[in-house]
Amino acid sequence: MSMIVVDHLRKEYPNVTPLKDVCTEINKGEVISIIGPSGTGKSTFLRCLNGLEQPTSGKIYVNGEDITSKKCDITKIRQKMGMVFQSFNLFSNLSVLENVITAPVNVLKMPRDEAEKKAKALLLRVGMLEKADNFPDELSGGQKQRVAIARAIAMDPEIILFDEPTSALDPTMVGEVLTVIRSLAREGMTMIIVTHEMRFARDVSTRVFYMDEGVIYEDGSPEQIFDDPKNEKTMRFIRHLKTLSLDITTASFDFIGMSTKIGVFGQDNLMTPKMIRNLNLVFEELTSATLIQRPGTLPIHFEVEYSNADESAKVTITYEGDAYNPLEDEDSLSASIVNKLCTSSSYSHDDKNTIVLTLS
Amino acid sequence: MKKKFTIVDAAIVVTLIILVALLLAPVLFPESSLQEIADTNGDGKITLSDYDGKKIGSITGVNYDLIINKYVPGSTVEYYSNYPDLVVALKAGIIDAFIIDEPALAAIMMEDPEVSQVPENMSSWLMSFAFSEKSKIPNLYNNMNSFIALIREDGVLDEIKDIWFGDDESKKVIPPLDDLTGENGTVKVALETTYAPIVYMKNEQVVGYEADILYRFCDHYHYKLEFVDMQYDAILPAIATGKCDIGASGLECTEDHAESVLLSTPHLEAGTSLAVLASDLLETNNAPAIGTGKSFSERAMSSFEKNLVTESRWKLIIKGIGTTCLITVLSALFGSIIAFGMCLLRRCASKLANPVLDAYVRIIQGIPLVILLMILFYVIFANSGIESVWIAVIGFSISFSAHAAVIMQSGLDSIDAGQEEAALALGFTHNQAFFRFLYPQAALRFLPVYRGELVNLLNNTSIVGYIAVQDLTKMSDIIRSRSYEAFLPLILSTLIYFVLARIITVVVDIVLKEISPRRMRSKGGEKA
Ligand SMILES: Nc1ncnc2c1ncn2[C@@H]1O[C@H](COP(=O)(O)OP(=O)(O)OP(=O)(O)O)[C@@H](O)[C@H]1O
Ligand SMILES: [Mg+2]
């Protein structure tokens, strides 16, 4: 029997209807990633699953019990269904250890020493034991999220819901949280993870939902969704997610900072080191080496669109000033370097100058 | 753990020193009236006409306007609510003279040599008791009129006058009120006890000329007697609304008063005099000022003696502290419970509750406290027989609840919604989430503001004198009425209020520390 059955779920708010008609079944042991554009009801869907939101219509069965019915004791269901939030939501008046034991002790009535022993083991596992006596506001984002995960596991849930667990984190802290979730996946924990980390979703899940237009728009294995999406919308989402735009407004802009952003963007999207290097070269040669030197070109907009599927990058540069194409300047070293790197290039000028390059 | 001396403490000390210095200034450098009184008509004496065009003080309860118009028509009149304030104002040079009945002035002059009397009589006026038409005791008014006629006949009234207007202190006693048998009911008398020798406090008991008549009256007709001490201006309303049966403390028998209440036949024809500074009346200006002969420490000692030791006046202060604390603590308690209930209602009840609660808060916060108390005292509980202390507790509880509810709610609103969601997601119920996580977190945030509101509450209780409660402020007024001195009673009550406020602050700080999560960590740190 399926662990969770969602039957024509609909959720309306006064001015939007994020969930129009969601139907699915979720089985024990599955790790489901939910991806999709912002505002398409991913969080709303998760919150309906544990009763934090009341559906407008439709039914949700958890282990056969209809949680939308008035007779259902939702607190019992929630005890078996952990939830990890984007903003951690650790209890700020409790220490790390107490955050983990409060629900087992007060809800499950577990003896305190047993709960503490278990909590310490869990904290050790997420690498947070040495902070057991600290308070949430003394932890970094990644540490808070690891504690929040330990707090959810302490209830021995049958399933854990993650709502963008890494979205509020610095890039440097994302890894530590994902590692913990990965290890849970390896142990066979049933999980539903709303995430924007495509690479992670691809590695860790057994199934991916692409949500859009109030429904589960596409449901399939990670390979199928990421490499061979059936729907045009899914494909566009998977590609377009990988865009980076940089704006240069002064001649003394933060060159190092922007180069670093390109590097991070490349790594996040699994680009080859060569591709990252080439993007950086194009950026340097066209902005600081040429356009910046010319009066009247500011502001300059630099945008990279990367497609994982064919591993190609499209670079679009727009800038102000008279018609001027630096790539046609035959004496320039920059022009020859850039022309060598890209597979195609085009230039146009209407009220602004636009250069479009393709790298692969 | 030893507390460090912080900047805040230093600031408090400096403020206190400045306060004391300000209050001390008039004692250390006694100064006479700003306007020199001169013998303008050149007859070698200071007379009434020399005060024409000056500032004259008058009590609010007696209509002296006619007399002032007749004798000193060019003067500006300032109104005060009791005689001690008039004495203090005179000595501070705020007014040049004040108008007063002769017996009262005699009593003041006995206590305070700095005050004297212009030796010229003005018109006299008639003193009566006021009676309520709503009194539940039958025939009370008629009985009093017959009684006054009776004691006038048999000379007892003159005897009473001799006792209270004479100077034999040992005769100035009234038997304990408990000795009255009271078969015919209890007579409640509204009066102002800063009016020697008519009605005043001595050895924690209400005594005086009128008090004596009332005692004998009640003894004669087998009533029980209860004195209700209130502000002068509050006496007639208390009678008109039936809150008390008889009004006393030098009420004038005029047609003004007779409209709202019944007035007994007069029992005293009081002469009117002008009270002035004794130094004004000395013919030459180089005469030594009174009081300068004594050293500062001698003056301080005698002040201490007069204000606290004589007639065990310190006991009044202790009683006053008790009343002030009682009202503050109970109002804080009930007010907080109501406020907490309001927060719970906002959480659980239907949407309808919110506008109702908002309206409650807005109305209560919009009414001045004194008026709220008066409404409770004179209108809502006018005939309930509830003691005025409890009416004060009710009033302050209501007022405090409105303020505390806003404070608590703002604390709760500042807690991120995620805290409750996290608790629910773990299987806690809504109520558990509130009591375990939301309220404790909110308390940490709102307690510092709440602490300030408690101190406000304490300070605001000083207005309960308006509804006949004898709190610390009222007691210090009573002492001032007997010692005719403002400095010591005022500085003493200031200090007491200050200490009480500190106690409140310290208690709340302890609670705050107790519930603060850091406490547990520092404990853990000590263990390690
Ligand atoms: N309590 C609410 N009241 C009204 N509208 C809401 C409420 N919660 C969410 N919405 C709306 O519902 C829509 C879906 O929101 P939801 O948070 O589920 O999107 P999401 O897919 O999780 O987006 P994101 O990726 O940005 O987190 C949004 O348009 C949002 O504004
Ligand atoms: Mg969301």
pLDDT for A44: 94
pLDDT for B257: 66
Domain edge (last residue) among B241, B271, B301 = B271
**Closest residue of chain B to A46, computed from CA coordinates:** B425
C-beta atoms of A78 and B437 within 8 A: no
Q: Are strands B55-59 and A65-66 parallel, antiparallel or unpaired?
A: unpaired
Q: Give the number of the atom of ligand 1 that is nearest the alpha carbon of residue A164.
A: 27
Protein residue whose Cα sits closest to atom 29 of ligand 1? A39
Total residues found in chain B within this entry: 528
Do B389 and B472 lie in one domain? The reply is: yes
Ligand nearest to the CA of A35: 1
Cβ–Cβ under 8 Å, residues B236 and B257 = yes
Within a domain: B69: no
DSSP letter, residue A80? T
Within a domain: B82: no
Collect residues with CB below 5 Å from ion ligand 2.
A 43
Contacts 24+ apart (CB under 8 A), B362-369: B364/B398, B364/B399, B364/B401, B364/B402, B365/B402, B365/B403, B365/B406, B369/B395, B369/B396, B369/B399, B369/B460, B369/B463
Min Cα–Cα distance to chain A from B7, Å: 28
Q: Are strands A300-307 and A312-319 parallel, antiparallel or unpaired?
A: antiparallel
C-beta atoms of B521 and A133 within 8 A: yes
Residues of A in contact with B524 (CB under 8 A): 133
The CATH number for A4-238, chosen from 3.30.2320.80, 3.40.50.300, 3.40.50.2000, 3.20.20.70, is: 3.40.50.300
Nearest Cα neighbor of B196 from B84, B282, B271 is B84
Cβ–Cβ under 8 Å, residues A135 and B521 = yes
Tokens standing for residue A352: 């602004």
pLDDT for B294: 64
Do B380 and B493 lie in one domain? The reply is: yes
Q: Which residues contact A290 (CB under 8 A, 6 or more apart)?
A: A326, A329, A332, A334, A335
Shortest CB distance from A155 goes to which of B426, B436, B521? B426
Q: Which residues contact B4 (CB under 8 A, 6 or more apart)?
A: none
DSSP letter, residue B148? H
pLDDT tens digits along A30-44: 999 999 988 899 999
Protein residue whose Cα sits closest to atom 3 of ligand 1? A13
Interior CA angle at B211 toward B205 and B214, to 5°?
130
Q: Which residues contact B45 (CB under 8 A, 6 or more apart)?
A: B39, B283
pLDDT for B26: 58
Q: Compute the distance from residue B139 Cα to the ligand 2 centre, in Å.
A: 81
pLDDT for B247: 92
Cβ–Cβ under 8 Å, residues B105 and B113 = no
Do B504 and B438 lie in one domain? The reply is: yes
Shortest CB distance from A93 goes to which of B429, B432, B440? B440
Other CB atoms closer than 10 Å to residue B321's CB: what's the count?
18
CA distance A95 to B382: 55
Cβ–Cβ under 8 Å, residues B226 and B388 = no
Tokens standing for residue B244: 């008390």
Farthest CA pair distance, chain B: 97
Phi-psi region at B385: left, alpha or beta (left = phi > 0; alpha = psi -120 to 50): left
Do B348 and B424 lie in one domain? The reply is: yes
Cβ–Cβ under 8 Å, residues B100 and B273 = yes
Other CB atoms closer than 10 Å to residue B437's CB: what's the count?
21
Q: Could you identify the residue written with the tokens 């853990």?
A: B524
Amino acid at A258: M
What is the pTM assigned to this prediction?
Answer: 0.71
Query: In Å, how far are A157, B119, B263 from B102, measured between CA atoms?
Result: 90, 11, 22
pLDDT for A322: 86
Within a domain: B48: no
Q: Compute the distance from residue A169 Cα to the ligand 1 centre, in Å.
A: 20
Residue pairs between chains A and B whose CB atoms are closer than 8 Å:
74
Shortest CB distance from B426 goes to which of A76, A88, A103? A103
Nearest Cα neighbor of B485 from B90, B148, B36, B121 is B90
CATH superfamily of A242-359: Histidine kinase-like ATPase, C-terminal domain (3.30.565.10)
CA distance A344 to A240: 20
CA distance B126 to B266: 6
Kindly give the parts of chain A with pLDDT less than 70.
239-242, 309
CA distance B136 to B161: 30
Query: CATH code at B193?
Result: 3.40.190.10
Cβ–Cβ under 8 Å, residues B199 and B193 = yes
pLDDT for B528: 34
State which residues form the domain around B345: 314-527
pLDDT in tens, chain B (528 residues): 445 567 777 777 788 787 777 766 655 555 444 455 666 655 666 788 888 888 888 887 677 888 888 888 888 888 888 888 888 888 888 888 999 988 888 888 888 888 888 888 888 888 999 998 888 888 999 999 999 999 999 999 999 999 998 888 889 999 999 988 889 999 999 998 888 899 998 888 899 999 999 999 999 999 999 999 888 878 888 888 888 899 998 888 777 666 778 889 999 988 888 999 888 877 544 444 444 556 777 777 877 887 787 777 888 899 999 999 999 999 999 999 999 999 999 888 777 888 899 999 999 999 999 999 989 988 888 777 788 899 999 999 999 999 999 999 999 999 999 999 999 999 999 999 999 999 999 999 999 999 999 999 999 999 998 888 889 998 888 887 777 777 888 889 999 999 999 999 999 999 998 888 765 555 444 433
Within a domain: B114: no
pLDDT for B144: 93
Shortest CB distance from B517 goes to which of A75, A95, A155? A95
Domain count, chain B: 2
Q: Which residues contact A92 (CB under 8 A, 6 or more apart)?
A: A135, A136, A137, B419, B441, B517
Nearest Cα neighbor of A302 from A336, A261, A273, A348 is A261
pLDDT for B516: 84
CA distance A107 to A110: 8
Tokens standing for residue A92: 């700020």
Min Cα–Cα distance to chain B from A178, Å: 20
Within a domain: B519: yes
C-beta atoms of B426 and A151 within 8 A: yes
Do B356 and B478 lie in one domain? The reply is: yes
Within a domain: B41: no
Q: Which residues contact A202 (CB under 8 A, 6 or more apart)?
A: A208, A222, A223, A226
Min Cα–Cα distance to chain A from B405, Å: 22
Do B348 and B459 lie in one domain? The reply is: yes
Tokens standing for residue B278: 């004794």
Pocket of ligand 1 (CB under 6 A): A 13, 16, 18, 38-44
Q: Compute the distance from residue A48 Cα to the ligand 1 centre, in Å.
A: 12
Shortest CB distance from B428 goes to which of A94, A103, A133? A103
Q: Of A20, A42, A84, which is best to mutate to test ligand 1, by the most ligand atoms within 8 angstroms of its C-beta? A: A42
C-beta atoms of A75 and B437 within 8 A: no
| Contact residues, chain A to chain B, C-beta under 8 Å | 50, 52, 75-76, 78-79, 81-83, 85, 87-95, 102-103, 106-108, 133-135, 148, 151-152, 155
Top residue of A78, A81, A93 to mutate, by most chain B CBs within 10 Å, is: A93
* Helix and strand numbers, DSSP H then E, in chain B: 21, 13
pLDDT for B365: 92
DSSP letter, residue A8? E
Cβ–Cβ under 8 Å, residues B494 and B476 = no
Top residue of B416, B421, B426 to mutate, by most chain A CBs within 10 Å, is: B426
Protein residue whose Cα sits closest to atom 17 of ligand 1? A43
Tokens standing for residue B506: 């310290």
* Domain ranges (residues) in chain A: 4-238, 242-359
Min Cα–Cα distance to chain B from A198, Å: 26
Q: Of A35, A40, A53, which is best to mutate to test ligand 1, by the most ligand atoms within 8 angstroms of its C-beta? A: A40
pLDDT for B429: 93
Do B262 and B335 lie in one domain? The reply is: no
Tokens standing for residue B514: 């107790």
DSSP letter, residue B379? I
Q: To 10 degrees, the CA torsion angle through A269, A275, A276, A280?
A: -140
CA distance A192 to A195: 10
pLDDT tens digits along B98-133: 999 888 888 888 888 888 888 888 888 889 999 988
Say if the ipTM goes beyond 0.90: no
Interior CA angle at B241 toward B235 and B243, to 5°?
70
Q: Could you identify the residue written with the tokens 């006054």?
A: B148
Do B260 and B336 lie in one domain? The reply is: no
Tokens standing for residue B425: 């997601």
Query: CATH code at B496?
Result: 1.10.3720.10
Q: Give the number of the atom of ligand 1 that is nearest the alpha carbon of residue A42.
A: 21
C-beta atoms of B422 and A85 within 8 A: yes
C-beta atoms of A107 and B428 within 8 A: yes
CA distance B59 to B57: 7
C-beta atoms of A95 and B518 within 8 A: no
Within a domain: B485: yes
Q: What is the 3-state secondary structure (H, E, C) of B313-352?
A: CHHHHHHHHHHHHHHHHHHHHHHHHHHHHHHHHHHHCCCC
Q: Do domains A4-238 and A242-359 have the same CATH topology?
A: no
Q: Which residues contact B249 (CB under 8 A, 6 or more apart)?
A: B61, B191, B192, B193, B195, B198, B199, B210, B232, B235
C-beta atoms of A87 and B520 within 8 A: no
The strands making up A57-62's β-sheet, listed across from edge to edge, are: A19-26, A4-11, A57-62, A65-66
Amino acid at A160: I
